[in-house]
Chains A and B, each alone.
Chain A
Amino acid sequence: MSGQTQSDLKSWGDILNPVEMQRHQQVGLLGILSLFVLPLVIPAIYAIYLSSALFFATFVMSWDFVSGYTGEISFGHGLFFGVGGYTSGMLNLHMGLDPWIAAPLGAVAAGLAGLLIGFPSLRVKGPYFSLITLVTPIILISVFRFFPDLTGGELGLVSVGTVEKFSAIGPIPSPGFDPYSGYYLALFVFLFALVVFVAITRSDAGMVFTAIRADEISVAATGKNPAKFKLFAFVLSGLIGGLAGAMYGHSVGGFNVSELLALIISIEVIVAAILGGIGTITGAAIGGLFFYLLRVFLRNLEFTIPVVNVPVGEVYFLLFGIVTLGFLFYLPEGIVPRVVGEWRARSEPQAGEAVADGGKSRGERIVESWTDDLRELFGGERR
């Protein structure tokens, strides 16, 4: 969690033991358990909302794993969702591969994309790297338009033919057709990503990531190769993001630019991570769910705004933006770190520890060092 300052490294077994957990971690575990039983009490349409929200939250986590931890802000994470989804979809459509086999292959392709994107990050610094990530998906979209017979161009892969959804496995109905089955598949992907990311970031490797963000040279001085860790972060983020993209595609039948590659997707992912709290994984997970469900809620609000006489349903995206602005303005550190911080302050009132950076949140520090790099490179001075 943000601000966690235990100096002794724990084994994964300790980390995942509920009895050892702090209060907020136990609450989190309870939350996860409730996700398992939720389908018992919710209508199918809610299962559909939640499945999409879980996939979206997985996207957000995969962004947070790279950008929140190594400090390399990615403005185009849609690239991974798109590469994973389109690879899987095209393998199925053009080569007849079963989605259950195609989806992992799509994830591998996105992992390779992670490697390709990760390499420049070794020599291109912060803001420049962000620019590269920003434009890569846009370039890929143009490439897709060049090969409409393969990719379907602007109409999406669905315009080339029927991309199969996941088939049923034994007694379990197809996640592509049964909302509840689809929900559990999404939950599985979400939890898989959550466990992998949490385990890694809370382990020795996570310490190294955090250290790389703070001071790459010192890390190199300890004999660890920061480049290797960074590349690993990109590959894993690509793998999971790509897996989620492919799984999402074969669950809902959505293989198009607007849902996977478009700029707005990459932006939404960042906003959701910021809402939840950068550099915590759990914050990203909760931020992703919150963001998605808030949007659905606003869209479905049956309320007409007085004076202008516009139904909320028609302007939900605008309101959503304003709500987000409010959050960013009044709760810039994100929901999860704030809540956890309040709990901490209440349950373990202790003398304030001296914090070297003046107590800024992890996210603030990342972007600050990033803009400082930028100023330095362009001839300003570090503040």
Chain B
Amino acid sequence: MVNNNNGSRRSNGSRTNSALGVNRRSFLRATGAGAVGTALAGCLGGGNGNGNGGGGVPDTVTIGALGPADSPMGDSILKSAELAVSEINDDGGIAGADVEVSTKDTKDQPGTTREVYQELTTGENVDATVGIFGSESLLSIMGNIAQQSTVHLTAGAATPEAPALVEENYDRNKYWFRVGPINSVFLGESQVQFAADRFEEMGWEKIAFLAEDYKWTEPITNDIQSQLEEEAGVEVTEVRRVAEGTEDFTPVYDQLESDEVDGAYTALAHTGTTALVQWAQQQRPFGFGGIHVPTQLPSFYEATQGAAISTFSQTTATANSEVTEKTVPYADAYQEEYDSLPVYTGYSAYDAVYMIKEAIEATESVNSDDLVSELEGMSYTGTGGNIEFFGPDGRFPHDVRYGADYAQGVYFQWQADESGEGHQRVLWPDDLEEAEYQSPPWA
């Protein structure tokens, strides 16, 4: 490790959010620039800050969780990590050790994310971190993850740039893994697959693809038109990239309406709510859905006073879909504890904590390099599917594998029951299908 203070320190076990409690003694040896730090080579060669001294599990294992606390995505990450840790402690801890979780609010700002990440690692010397949400924030700390050589399991960001960095320099970036969601290249593949499996029965013969003009949608829109046409046999009138900050979708929908499309197939996150609300308020005569991040929130139907009706989206899992036998119990436990349902990032964060537990118990160590090799070979049945990572030479090193045998997510639709309450009902895949697609009530 660059900072030679780090080598011998163990988790102080405090669950504090503050760096004030950090053990100062170990820093007293530092005597300014000249004396600080070992040679750089020593730091990059895969040394690690956690229990380097021959492995072993400390009395307390500390896991750091990061996320923007004031957004539902971040909130679910932090709460799910806390939930998993409290369950693990009730069940005897990790290899007999107590588990602590230290949660940090990233504010979804890269600068803050980097700072709190350093608080967790340099300051509190946690054994692993989970969470993040937000590709800008994740990419901003990839360098720090490498530098700290502390295992990080991402929940939230879908950017394929992160595994590209692992591929580019494996030794440096190997401490990064992603539990979910599937990356945006796979999101595109998933949309083609869903279209091939369901569009015919949905009556979607002619569609327009609507993606927001952000970098994350580029891997999706690159090739989507020809793929949809070839593999799903639908007519694609246009692939439209909607500008960032678009506040008025009326002209877009006018165009779609005059083209007489059956549906707007979407890849929307930031501009998603505005797009959806205007679609519903204007009662456009076509369906709406695909990947739509806001509509994935279990509270979205109520929050939009039903405007979300009949919209559908890919997501990691829904609260009542039995993706695995762990999915529903997790959602129930979450609801019991926090009186709300988790959003998609929560499933991944929860699984991430358990995967760290499995890895530590299997290696009987919190040594990062040991954990990395263990995680690379791990096949873990979590709430979001059968989680396996690509190997160092895989297509997306250390990213979660996508497919029916791994994690493939579900497509759900907002449907109303007799009392008018909205439910996320699974449309796809076949084995989880709860309901058939319903057209918007006005169409």
Check A-B contact in the complex, CB < 8 A.
yes
The answer on a CB contact under 8 Å between B37 and A49 is no
The answer on a CB contact under 8 Å between B215 and A178 is no
The answer on a CB contact under 8 Å between B110 and A300 is no
Interface of B is mostly: helix
Quick one: which of A43, A153, A165 contacts B27, CB cutoff 8 A? A43
Q: Whole-angstrom distance between the alpha carbons of A40 and B19 in the complex? A: 17
The answer on a CB contact under 8 Å between B69 and A174 is no
Contact with B along A152-182 (1 / 0, CB 8 A): 1111101101100101100111100111110
Q: Whole-angstrom distance between the alpha carbons of A154 and B32 in the complex? A: 37
Quick one: which of A145, A177, A259 contacts B2, CB cutoff 8 A? A177
The answer on a CB contact under 8 Å between A178 and B142 is no
The answer on a CB contact under 8 Å between B22 and A252 is no
Quick one: which of B32, B109, B147, B216 contacts A39, CB cutoff 8 A? B32
Instruction: Report if B303 contacts A (CB, 8 A).
Output: no
Q: How far is the CB of B431 from chain A (nearest CB, A)?
A: 36
Q: How far is the CB of A131 from chain B (nearest CB, A)?
A: 20
Return chain A residues, CB-CB under 8 Å to B112. Answer: 299
Return chain A residues, CB-CB under 8 Å to B122. Answer: 44-45, 48, 179
Return chain A residues, CB-CB under 8 Å to B168. Answer: 161-162
Return chain B residues, CB-CB under 8 Å to A171. Answer: 34
Q: Whole-angstrom distance between the alpha carbons of A253 and B3 in the complex? A: 17
The answer on a CB contact under 8 Å between A44 and B114 is no
Closest to B243 in A: A145
Return chain B residues, CB-CB under 8 Å to A317. Answer: 107
The answer on a CB contact under 8 Å between A174 and B2 is yes
Quick one: which of A153, A180, A252 contacts B30, CB cutoff 8 A? A180
Return chain B residues, CB-CB under 8 Å to A301. Answer: 18
Instruction: Report if A33 contacts B (CB, 8 A).
Output: no
Contacts A48-B115, A253-B144; A158 near B17 (Cβ below 8 A): no
Contact with A along B12-29 (1 / 0, CB 8 A): 000011111011100110
Interface of A is mostly: helix
The answer on a CB contact under 8 Å between B115 and A155 is no
The answer on a CB contact under 8 Å between A155 and B215 is yes
Instruction: Report if A314 contacts B (CB, 8 A).
Output: yes
Quick one: which of B3, B22, B39, B159 contacts A179, CB cutoff 8 A? B3
Closest to A311 in B: B17
Closest to A255 in B: B140
The answer on a CB contact under 8 Å between B36 and A181 is yes
Q: Interface size bucket, B side?
A: 35 or more
Return chain B residues, CB-CB under 8 Å to A252. Answer: 114
The answer on a CB contact under 8 Å between A300 and B20 is yes
Closest to A184 in B: B33
The answer on a CB contact under 8 Å between B110 and A254 is yes
Instruction: Report if B377 contacts A (CB, 8 A).
Output: no
Quick one: which of A43, A49, A258 contacts B136, CB cutoff 8 A? A258
Instruction: Report if A201 contacts B (CB, 8 A).
Output: no
The answer on a CB contact under 8 Å between B140 and A256 is yes
Quick one: which of B19, B70, B244 contacts A46, CB cutoff 8 A? B19
The answer on a CB contact under 8 Å between B140 and A168 is no
The answer on a CB contact under 8 Å between A155 and B161 is yes
Which of B112, B136, B159 has its CB near the most chain A CB atoms (within 10 A)? B136
Contact with A along B245-280 (1 / 0, CB 8 A): 000000000000000000000000000000000000
Return chain B residues, CB-CB under 8 Å to A357. Answer: none
> What are 12 A-B contacts defined by CB distance under 8 Å?
A43-B23, A45-B119, A145-B244, A152-B215, A153-B214, A155-B135, A156-B140, A162-B169, A172-B34, A177-B43, A178-B33, A296-B115
If A48-B122, A168-B39, A259-B140 are given as contacts, then 10 extra A-B residue pairs at C-beta distance below 8 Å, sorted by A number, are A43-B123, A44-B27, A45-B118, A156-B140, A162-B165, A173-B37, A173-B39, A253-B140, A258-B111, A299-B116
* Interface positions of B (Cβ within 8 A of A): 2-3, 5-6, 16-20, 22-24, 27-28, 30-34, 36-40, 43, 69-70, 105, 107, 109-112, 114-116, 118-119, 122-123, 135-136, 139-140, 142-144, 147, 159, 161, 165, 168-169, 213-216, 218, 244
